[in-house]
Amino acid sequence: MTKQQHSLLNRGPDRPWSKALDEPRWVDEPDDVPQPVITSPPPPVVIPPPPPVQPTHIHKQDKCDDVPISELVTAIIVNFKTKNLLKCVYKTFRAFYPTVPMIIVDNHSGDSSVELVQALGMRPHVKTIFMDKNVGHGPAMNRAIQQSDTPYVFTLDTDTEVITGGFLQKMVKLMRADDTLYALGWKRWVDRISGVPLEWHTEKQPAERFIAYVHPSAGLYRVSMYHTLAQFFHHGAPCLNNMREANKRELKVEAFPIRDYVTHLEAGTRRMYSGRWDPTDKTPKKKWNAKDRYPI
Burial of 157 from C-beta contacts in 10 A (0-12 / 13-18 / 19+):
buried
Q: Do 182 and 253 contact (CB within 8 A), yes or no?
A: yes
Q: Is 12 contained in some domain?
A: no
110 sits in the region (left: phi over 0; alpha: psi -120 to 50; else beta) called left
How far apart are the C-alpha atoms of 107 and 110, rounded to whole Å? Answer: 9
- Residue-wise pLDDT for 93-123, tens only, equals 999 999 999 999 999 999 999 999 999 999 9
- Residue-wise pLDDT for 38-76, tens only, equals 566 666 655 566 555 444 444 445 777 789 999 999 999
- Residue-wise pLDDT for 180-197, tens only, equals 999 999 999 998 888 888
181 sits in the region (left: phi over 0; alpha: psi -120 to 50; else beta) called beta
Look up the domain containing 68 and give its range: 60-272
Q: What is the pLDDT of residue 274?
A: 45
The radius of gyration of the chain's CA atoms, rounded to the nearest angstrom, is: 40
How far apart are the C-alpha atoms of 129 and 121, rounded to whole Å? Answer: 9
- 118-129: burial string, b at 16+ Cβ within 10 Å, e else: eebbeeeebbbb
How far apart are the C-alpha atoms of 90 and 99, rounded to whole Å? Answer: 12
Bridge-based pairing of strands 63-64 and 67-68 is antiparallel
Q: Residue 273: which residues within 8 A CB-CB, separation 6 or more?
A: 81, 288
Q: Is 286 contained in some domain?
A: no
Q: What is the pLDDT of residue 296?
A: 36
Total Cβ atoms within 10 A of residue 64: 20
pTM: 0.72
Q: Do 269 and 276 contact (CB within 8 A), yes or no?
A: no
Determine the residue type at 244. R
How many domains are there within the chain? Answer: 1
First to last CA, the chain: 116
Q: Is 202 contained in some domain?
A: yes
Q: Is 219 contained in some domain?
A: yes
How far apart are the C-alpha atoms of 143 and 40, rounded to whole Å? Answer: 75
pLDDT at 12 over 70: no
Q: Is 3 contained in some domain?
A: no
CATH of the domain at 186: 3.90.550.10
